[in-house]
Chain A
Amino acid sequence: MNKLDTGPTARGAQVRAERPQSHTQAEKPGVSEIAEAVEHEMPVAREMRERFHARPVADRTFVAVTMTLAVVILILVFGMALALISQSRASLAAFGWHFVVSTEWDPVNDQYGALPFIYGTFLSSALALIIAVPLSLGVALCLSEMAPVWLSRRLGFLVELLAAIPSVVYGLWAVFVLGPWLRDVVEPPLSRFFGFIPLFSGTGASVSMFTAGVILAIMIVPFISSVCTEVFRVVPQTQREAALALGATRWEMVRIAVLPYGLSGIVGAIILGLGRALGETIAVAMVIGNRPEISASLFKPSSTLASVIANEFTEATSDLYISALVELGLVLLVFGLILNVVARLLVMGATQRQRA
């Protein structure tokens, strides 16, 4: 989205609106009489008019080609939904709604239930958000309110590099560096002092829900913070100046002018980050331990919708097994779509309000 968006669009609409008018005007007696008179005197004028109005074959072909390519996108989206539904038919028929509430995942006896994975997906994403949201807001405020422009650009660039690193590389690093570090340094004090809370009970393991949540947090911070930075940058300068003129300190200005103004955008950014976290596959599959169990403790192995698909799809033997895994994908798709639509509407509202 760019500021210049509205310029050409508005003009395009204007041109479109005017074009039919010129046709209707030509039908009015005065104009058409003149036109006829001109064409009577200059036969070439008729030819010019006809050549102008007839859209050559090449033009129509060109529009048809680009339209077809655009329609391909619609086909892909519908095709994706249809393909997932048709491939999961066996599982949909066998388990129905029971699928999303059953906790049993037993390939040996062909019994499949998605609840452990839905739980794992949401718990790992929630953990990631709890860590990532404060960090992202801090980064966004630092970039938009604190740092001078030259520093802000460089820092913003570094934060974006975080988003560029492939997830398998994060996974590799989490397996060999982050996981063991969390197990040895972070988890023991947590379980010693907060062990009475079920979330922090038990001893640490390097593959666990906790490691997955932390690596997810690192991966989604750049997405949330870049959207928030953009949202804060469109807060009108007059709002800030008004707050400062009333004697606000810099932090008070942020709190009374910047944050409330960008609230819907912040919420949108968080939901966008949540959407990322839900769908993230490989890094999570590498560190979460892949056990289809619902465990209250963060320090136990678990599993998410995406990670179980990645781990078991190529090993699935029975048709019902594959079908159940595809249905997990369908559940993931539905969650992802809902979050994305909501987030985009919120962000769009927040960043376009000022441009209108």
Chain B
Amino acid sequence: MTSAAAYQYRKLKSNVMMGVTVAATVVTLVPLFLVLGYLLYKGASSLNLDFFIHLPKPVGQSGGGMGNAILGTMQIVGIACLLGVPIGVGAGLYLAEHRGTALANAVRFAADVMMGVPSIVVGIFAYAVIVRPMGGFSALAGAFALAVIMVPLVTRTTEEMILLVPHELREASLALGIPRWRTSVSVIVRSALAGIATGVILAIARVAGETAPLLFTAFGNRYWSTSLRQPAATLTVQVYTYAISPFHDWQRQAWAGALVLTGLVLALELGVRWVTGGAAKAAR
């Protein structure tokens, strides 16, 4: 082989391989468009006002909706936030302000470990510490499980965001004689607030789509749940139940539920990115 031919061969090989990477990207993105396309195609036709405000109908009757499940998801995610966000932000603040201490290192490691725990295991944990002692499935147990999933996400984002605040800001505040706690709350957290809020919203988007930890905590409910101590329907569990059911009308509603769920999650993700311009990325 002449050197010119060898060069041609190397160049061709390079182009082929680089073409392969482009092909891989295309192949990866095909399912995204297929999933979104099917959601719109199959889900949109089942969406109407009834779907949002009515209870599910018994098998055999068509119509009805997932009103209770939509409300249930909002309720459970809301309570999960009330439980998880203060812990996450507080712990993240501690990690950022006490870097290098043994406790901070241990907590950071524990948070990373928690992020890797499969969500179904978190569900078992919530079952063991809430459902068993309380004697039954409840919205509260579901919220607890989601809060446990949120905590490490919020903690690590908060820490990262606080570390981005220039140290000079803290020094300036302390030099003005402002107490440390006030500096932390009004200067440091305040400056990092946009980033922390982004992290919280991304964590909300993540847990709103969780099904596994809710199966045996919030369980499901065919009716409106009137108390947090009762089982509650959620959008994800409802979609799961309907999708694996043999009834055509339920399957149709599963697509509609999935469309609403995906719309909700993507709206949170896209909204956050659009507002912050992608400046703050959640810690992974």
Contact = CB atoms under 8 A, between A and B. Distances in A.
Contacts of A221: 28
The residue in B151, B152, B209 that gathers the most chain A C-beta atoms within 10 A of its C-beta is B209
Interface stretch (B45-53, B54-62, B124-132): B124-132
B97 to A, nearest CB: 7
Given A59-B180, A76-B151, A66 B91 contact: yes
The residue in A11, A74, A221 that gathers the most chain B C-beta atoms within 10 A of its C-beta is A74
B255 A73 contact: no
Contact of A161 (B120, B155, B244, B266): B266
A221 B258 CA distance: 21
A80 B148 CA distance: 10
Contacts of A79: 125, 129
Interface string B19-50: 01111110111011011001100100000000
The residue in A2, A175, A251, A306 that gathers the most chain B C-beta atoms within 10 A of its C-beta is A251
A137 to B, nearest CB: 8
Nearest to A223: B284
A279 B116 CA distance: 9
Interface in B178-219: 179-182, 184-185, 205, 208-212, 215-216, 219
A56 interface: yes
A163 to B, nearest CB: 9
B124 A77 contact: no
Contacts of B34: 173, 177
Contacts of B165: 8
Contacts of B152: 73
Contact of B125 (A68, A69, A84, A159): A84
Nearest to A249: B14
A333 interface: yes
A174 to B, nearest CB: 9
Nearest to B35: A173
- Interface band, chain B: 35 or more
Interface stretch (A33-41, A101-109, A139-147, A189-197): A139-147
Contacts of A95: none
The residue in B28, B114, B265 that gathers the most chain A C-beta atoms within 10 A of its C-beta is B28
Given A69-B87, A164-B269, A173-B38, 16 more contacts: A5-B163, A13-B99, A62-B181, A62-B185, A70-B107, A72-B87, A76-B148, A76-B151, A83-B129, A86-B128, A145-B21, A249-B13, A252-B10, A281-B120, A313-B127, A336-B116
B280 to A, nearest CB: 10
Given A175-B243, A279-B119, A76 B124 contact: no
A277 to B, nearest CB: 10
Contacts, number: 296
Q: Is the interface of A mostly helix, strand, loop or mixed?
A: helix
Contacts of A126: none
B117 A80 contact: yes
B249 interface: no
Nearest to B93: A66
Q: Is the interface of B mostly helix, strand, loop or mixed?
A: helix
A44 B215 CA distance: 66
Nearest to A278: B118
A158 B128 contact: no
A345 B177 CA distance: 41
Contacts of B211: 166-168, 281-282
A168 B258 contact: yes
A164 B13 contact: no
Contacts of A76: 110, 114, 148, 151
A80 B236 CA distance: 24
A270 B209 CA distance: 24
Interface in A75-106: 76-77, 79-80, 83-84, 86-87
A329 interface: yes
A165 B261 CA distance: 9
Contacts of B115: 340
B240 A282 contact: yes
A294 interface: no
A308 B137 CA distance: 19
Contact of B216 (A55, A145, A314): A314
A66 B103 CA distance: 12
Nearest to A316: B216
Interface string A148-177: 000000010111011011111111110111
A231 interface: no
Interface string B91-112: 1011101111001101100111
A145 B97 CA distance: 38
B18 interface: yes
A76 B166 CA distance: 32
Contacts of A292: none
